[in-house]
Amino acid sequence: MNAGSPSGRRRFLRTACCHCAAWGGLGLGLAHAQDAADATIAPRLERPAIDTDEGGLWAMMDREERRLRRGPLVIRDEALSTYLRDLVCRLGGEHCTDVRVHVVRTAQFNASMAPNGMMQVWSGLLLRVDNEAQLAAVLGHELGHYLERHSVERMRDLKAKSSAAMVVSMFGLPGALVGLGIAASAMGFSRDQELRADRIGMQLLRRAGYDGREFPKVWENLLAELKVTGGEDAGRRSVLFATHPPAADRRDALRAMAGEAGGRLGTEELERVLAPHRMDWLQEEIRRGQYEESLALLSRKLARSDDPHYLYARGEVYRLRNRDDDLPPALADLQRGSQLLKAPPELFRSLGLLHQRREDAAGAIGAFERYLAAAPEAGDAGLIKTYLKELKP
């Protein structure tokens, strides 16, 4: 650890809470197919003494949490915060007073848990979960890491390895690669820790009355997106985490743990609290430019609900990808969305631009006029008005 430089310190702090890189797409851990109910839940954690290594880590994470709270990436929405706090209380019982959930604006799928009780949930994760049970599964898994104090174990492991990394990194590129390997082994939780977190997560999920079968679906959905760039072996192959078991195994083990009892889904509750943010998060997803991954996500969403926001997003992704065969599905989505109530103004912008490309002047004029009527103060109104001038005879 290079505590002297801000970037070095930041990197170290990130490793101290970025456990669930697993959620971000790298296969970690293997959950055994045994009854989740046999895991025991730890009592409330005492704050460690400041003169211990664990106390020092807590203090550093407290500072990092203050920085996060003040920063521009955290989403400040009282209704969403209350909802997440209530969800953690439903899962974690007496631990909920010690855990704080922060929603961070980042389009990728990830969640992390720091030893001091700071949990981060990325907006890309909230966009991807289909119901409260799936979100509860992720939060339960993160609570599992917290309850078992996995990050403290990991920090001690990291401290033991960092001196070795410094030595090897002195020797240029080969050394740097070895250093990377050491960093990789330190960045993620061990396979046993992931197993424990999965089991505790499933236990908390089922105890709170949710359908345990939703937990493996989180993994299954993520795997489907990963296959876009990683191919069929996406969950198996990873440069950094090659020693860990395949992602598909984890999904299968979770399926076995979930049982058939069923339970609460909470689809409407999640939908209600996320609705005000969905358009922003969809725009951020589109801006990532990873169109194939977005199409996998949006097609999954549209298989469940004919929502004009998802229709806009998928139509826009097809329009931006602009392959020869993308025009018909883009048009179908945008036209379908334009007929639905609550179609967002951006849908008409996208539809107008698509008609313009198809040289359908009347269609483009109609869509652009609806866009400007719905969003007269839009930042690109000037450009759209120029297009309208060119289109009108």
Partner 1 sequence: MKRLIILLAAVWLAGCAAVVKVEGEQVVRNRLSVQLPSAWNRIANHHEPFELWTQDGAALDQLRFWSGVKPGEALIRTSFTPAGQTAPRVPTFAANMPPDQLVSMFEMLFSADGSQVKTDRIEPARFAGENGVRFEFAVIRKTSELQLRGVGWAAVRNGELFAATFTAPQLSFFQRLLPKAEGVVATARLR
Kindly indicate which of the ranges 100-108, 133-141, 156-164, 207-215 contains the residues binding partner 1, using the contact rule CB under 8 A: 100-108
Closest by CA to 235, choosing from 243, 223, 225, 244, is 223
Nearer Cβ to partner 1 (97/386): 386
Q: Does 373 bind partner 1 (CB under 8 A)?
A: no
* Distance from C-alpha of 315 to C-alpha of 312, rounded to nearest angstrom: 5
Residue 373, class by beta-carbon neighbours within 10 Å (0-12 exposed, 13-18 middle, 19+ buried)?
A: exposed
The piece of 87-95, 261-269, 286-294, 304-312 that touches partner 1 (CB under 8 A) is: 286-294
**Binding residue for partner 1 (CB under 8 A) from 237, 264, 300, 336?**
237
With respect to partner 1, which residue has the nearer C-beta, 12 or 89? 12
Listed residue (113, 133, 105, 107) closest to 45, CA to CA: 113
The one-letter amino acid code at 88 reads V
Nearer to partner 1, 203 or 290 (CB): 290
* DSSP SS3 for 385: helix
- Choose the stretch contacting partner 1; rule: CB under 8 A; options: 84-92, 160-168, 189-197, 222-230: 222-230
Q: Is 380 in the site for partner 1 (CB under 8 A)?
A: yes
Under rule CB under 8 A, residue 44 binds partner 1? no
Q: How many Å apart are CA 31 and CA 197, to the nearest integer?
A: 9
Backbone angles phi, psi at 35, to 5 degrees: -60, 120
Q: Does 287 bind partner 1 (CB under 8 A)?
A: yes
Q: Which is nearer to partner 1, 42 or 242 (CB)?
A: 242
Contact between residue 92 and residue 143 where contact means Cβ atoms under 8 Å apart:
yes
Q: Is 290 in the site for partner 1 (CB under 8 A)?
A: yes
Calculate the alpha carbon distances from 52 to 9, 49, 141, 152 in Å: 19, 6, 27, 11
- In order of 75, 107, 264, 270, 315, the CA distances from 79 in angstroms are 11, 21, 21, 11, 30
Question: Binders of partner 1: how many residues, by CB under 8 A?
Answer: 32
The reply to whether 386 sits near partner 1 by the rule CB under 8 A is: yes
Candidates 106-114, 143-151, 252-260, 333-341: pick the segment binding partner 1 (CB under 8 A): 106-114
Among 289, 298, 280, 319, which residue's Cα sits nearest to residue 229?
A: 289
CB of 221 to partner 1, least distance (A): 19
Q: Which of 221, 204, 196, 261 lies closest to 32, judged by CA?
A: 196
* 284 lines the binding site for partner 1 (CB under 8 A): yes
- Span of 45-53, 103-111, 253-261, 266-274 interacting with partner 1 by CB under 8 A: 103-111
Among 8, 209, 231, 276, binds partner 1 (CB under 8 A): 231
Q: Which two tokens stand for residue 144?
A: 């599992």
Which of 53, 160, 289, 373: binder of partner 1 (CB under 8 A)?
289
Question: Using CB under 8 A, which of the segments 42-50, 79-87, 215-223, 290-298 binds partner 1?
Answer: 290-298
- Tell me the C-alpha distance between 2 and 312, whole Å: 46
Contacts of 60 (CB under 8 A, 6+ apart): 13, 16
- Binding residue for partner 1 (CB under 8 A) from 149, 161, 336, 357? 357
3-state secondary structure of 239: coil
Applying CB under 8 A, the residues found at the interface with partner 1 are 71-73, 105-108, 172, 228-231, 233, 237, 239, 284, 287-292, 320, 322, 353, 356-357, 379-380, 382-383, 386
